Structure 1
Amino acid sequence: MLIPHSSVLVAPQTTTPIHLDAPLLNHSNIPSEFVWPDNEKPCLQPPSLKIPPIDMKSFLSRDPQAVEAICAEVSEACKKHGFFLVVNHGVDKKLLERAHKLIDTFFCMELPEKQQLQRKLGEHCGYANSFIGRFSSKLPWKETLSFHYSNDKSTRTVEDYFLTSMGEDYREFGSMFQEYCEVMSKLSLEIMELLGMSLGVSRECFRDFFEDNESVMRLNYYPPCLKPELALGTGPHCDPTSLTVLHQDQVEGLQVFVDGRWYSVAPKEDAFVVNIGDTFMALSNGIFKSCLHRAVVNNQVVRKSLAFFLCPNKDKVVSTPKELVTAENPKKYPDFTWRTLLEFTQKHYRSDEETLDAFSKWLLEENK
C-alpha cells in the first residue's frame, strides 16, 4: 500500500505537475525526463555489500591494538572503494529520530511552501525538486533540501537560515538541525583523525585542516515511483565534497559500486554510512578512493536519508600533505580551493565518477 504524502516532482516543459500520490497510480508511464538509459538503469535486487562496521568508541579509546586493527580495516576499505560504516559513534538516538521526523514535516508541506526555500540556479543550498531547471534529462526521482553549516562557534548558521527564509514558525526546525550539524561536525572531525592515522600521517593532520569547516547538510526524500526499474533516486556519482556521513531510514536504496558491480547497502539503525569524496581523494593523493554510489527507488514507500557533507573552509587550499607524495606515488592533482571545485560542479559539470579528473583538467586549462 502506498504511504500517503504530498510530495510533488515536476518534470520540465510540461504544464501539469506530477503528484506522486494516488492519481499517479493510474498512469502507465513516468515522464521521459526521469527515464535513465539502458546502460544506467537500476539493478533492483543486487547482492548486499558485506563490510565490518568500524567501532569509533574503540578507536577513540586510543588502545594501541584496537587503533591499529581499526586503521587497517579503514585503510583497506578506502583504498578499494572509499566506503565504510561507523558504530558506537555517540550520536543520541533521539536526535536522529527527531531529524527524520522533521524530514517528513518539511517534504509533506504543499509545494508553494517548500518553494520559499527554492534553490537558485548555480547555488548549492535550498530546496530542489528533481533539479528541475538545472538538468533536462536523467532527472533524479527525489526532492532535497540543502543548507550551509559553519563550524564557527560564534554563529548559528543553520538556525539563522530557517528564521530568515521561513520565519519564526521554523525556529525549532532550524534549532534542531543546527544541533544535528554540530554533532555531525564533531563526528566528522573524529573520523578525520581515523583517516589520518589510516594513511600514516598524524592524527591531527586532517582534523586541524577541517576544524573550521564550512559544510553542507542535505535532507533527501525519495517518493515512491511507479516504474522503479526505469528511474533512479540519485544517479551514479562520487561526491565532490570531502566526506559524507549519512544516516538512512530503514528502507533500502543506497548502492555502492565495487569490483565492477553494484551492491546494496542495507540500512542499520545504529550505524552511519561514511564515504570518501573527491576533495579528500585529492588530499590523500589518490590513495583513498572517492566512493561511486547511487540511490534506487521503489513503488511502495518513501525513502529518506540525512547527509552531512564535510567540506573545508571555502578559501583553504586543498594540497596533499608532503608525506603522501613519493617517487612511487607522485602528486596527482593540482592544488585548489573548495570554493573553486564547488563552483565547477554547480556551473560547469554534473557530478559523476570522473568529476575530479575533469576538474583537474579544467583547472590546469584555466591557470594557463
Structure 2
Amino acid sequence: MPPPGEKSNFLRTSGTKNQHQPSALDASILGSESDMPSQDLSSLVPITTIVDKACKKHGVFMVVNHGVDPGLVDRAHRCVDFFRMQLCEKQKAQRKIGENSGYSSGFVGRFSSKLPWKETLSFRYCPDSPNIVEQYFVSVMGQDFRHFGKVYQEYCEAMNKLSMEVMELLGLSLVLGRAYLRDFFQGNDSILRLNHYPPCPKPDLALGTGPHADPTALTILDQDQVGGLQVFADHQWHSLTPIPGAFVVNIGDTFIFKS
C-alpha cells in the first residue's frame, strides 16, 4: 500500500504512474538571510516567484535544505513501530469522537467506494506548552513510551520552526512582507499525524487516503521514498515523485480563505 500521504490542495494516495512534480525550493536561503533588513530581500525574489506560481497552480511545493536534522527524521520513522503492536495495545490510545488526538483505523464513513486502508496516530502540539507531546504519550500509553514522546516532541518543534519559515516565504510571495504571516500564525496549535498503510488483500478496492482537501492553513508532509502521493491539477490526478530529504508543503483551505 502507499506511504504516509495525506494532504494537498486536493490529494490522495494511490498507485498510478502519472508524474506532475511540484517545484523543489532550497530553504537554506531563509536561514542565511534571517538578519537581512526587510528592504534588502532582492535575492529572495526568484524563490518567492516560484512559490507564488506553485500555490496558484495546485497549492503544493517541496522544500529541500530545510535544516531539519535527518537523524531526527530517521528516529521519527523508527518510532512508527507503534503500528506493529497488538491491536489491544494500540487501542489504549483510541481516538474519541470529537477529539483530534489518538489512534484510528481509517475513515470509512466518508467514502462509499475505494475505502481508506490505513491506521493513524494523531496528537496535538502547542509551542506554549512544554513537553505536551511527551506527556501525551506517557499519559495514554505509559512510561515505556516516553522515548516515543521525546522523539515526536523534538520533531514537532522542528516542524513548527520550518512552518514559520514557510510562512515567511508565503508572506513575501503575497507582497505582505516577511513577518506578516509568521507573526499571525506564531504560537498556533498544530496536529502531527502518523499514517500507516498495512498490506491490503484487495488493493483495487481501497486507497491509502481518499481524495480530500486540508481544512488547515498549512501541511508539511514527510512523504518517504515509496511513492503514492497524488495531487489534482489540470483536471486529473498526478503522482508526486519523492525527493530524498524533501518535505511536501501543501496550502490548506484556511490559508486560501485568509488570503
| Partner SS, residue 268 of structure 1 | coil
Is 1:118 aligned with 2:94?
Answer: yes
- The TM-score, its normalising length taken from structure 2, stands at 0.88
> CA RMSD of the aligned region, Å?
1.9
Query: Aligned pairs, how many?
Result: 242
Q: Is the 8 A contact 1:116 1:166 kept in 2?
A: yes
Higher relative contact order (CA 8 A, sep 6+): 2
Distance in 1 between residues matched to 2:141 and 2:30, nearest whole Å: 41
Is 1:97 aligned with 2:74?
Answer: yes
The equivalent residue for 1:256 is 231
Is 1:78 aligned with 2:50?
Answer: no
User: Judging changes above 3 Å, is the alpha-carbon distance between structure 1 residues 42 and 120 closer, same or farther for their aligned structure 2 residues?
Assistant: closer
1:277 aligned residue (247, 252, 256): 252
Distance in 1 between residues matched to 2:145 and 2:13, nearest whole Å: 37
CA shift at 1:167, angstroms? 1.1
Amino acid at match of 1:81: H
CA shift at 1:266, angstroms? 1.3
Distance in 2 between residues matched to 1:136 and 1:195, nearest whole Å: 33
Deviation per CA, 1:228-257: give whole Å up to 9, x if none: 232111111111011110112211110000
Distance in 2 between residues matched to 1:82 and 1:182, nearest whole Å: 24
| Partner SS, residue 248 of structure 1 | coil
The equivalent residue for 1:316 is none
Distance in 2 between residues matched to 1:211 and 1:240, nearest whole Å: 18
CA shift at 1:42, angstroms? 8.1
Distance in 1 between residues matched to 2:172 and 2:45, nearest whole Å: 9
User: Judging changes above 3 Å, is the alpha-carbon distance between structure 1 residues 146 and 79 closer, same or farther for their aligned structure 2 residues?
Assistant: same
The equivalent residue for 1:66 is 43
Is 1:198 aligned with 2:173?
Answer: yes
Deviation per CA, 1:37-59: give whole Å up to 9, x if none: xxxx9873331113331111124
Is 1:127 aligned with 2:103?
Answer: yes
Distance in 2 between residues matched to 1:123 and 1:280, nearest whole Å: 22
Q: Is the 8 A contact 2:116 2:208 kept in 1?
A: yes
CA shift at 1:64, angstroms? 3.5
Larger radius of gyration: 1
Distance in 2 between residues matched to 1:113 and 1:122, nearest whole Å: 22
Amino acid at match of 2:25: I
Q: Is the 8 A contact 1:59 1:66 kept in 2?
A: no
CA shift at 1:178, angstroms? 0.4
The equivalent residue for 2:155 is 180
The equivalent residue for 1:330 is none
Amino acid at match of 2:220: V
Distance in 1 between residues matched to 2:53 and 2:150, nearest whole Å: 38
Deviation per CA, 1:104-161: give whole Å up to 9, x if none: x1000000000000011122210001136x5574431100000000011x52110110
The equivalent residue for 1:9 is none
Amino acid at match of 2:153: Q
| Partner SS, residue 145 of structure 1 | strand
1:267 aligned residue (242, 245, 248): 242
- The TM-score, its normalising length taken from structure 1, stands at 0.63
The equivalent residue for 1:16 is none
The equivalent residue for 2:82 is 106
Counting only pairs closer than 5 Å after superposition, residues 335-350 of structure 1 correspond to structure 2 as: none
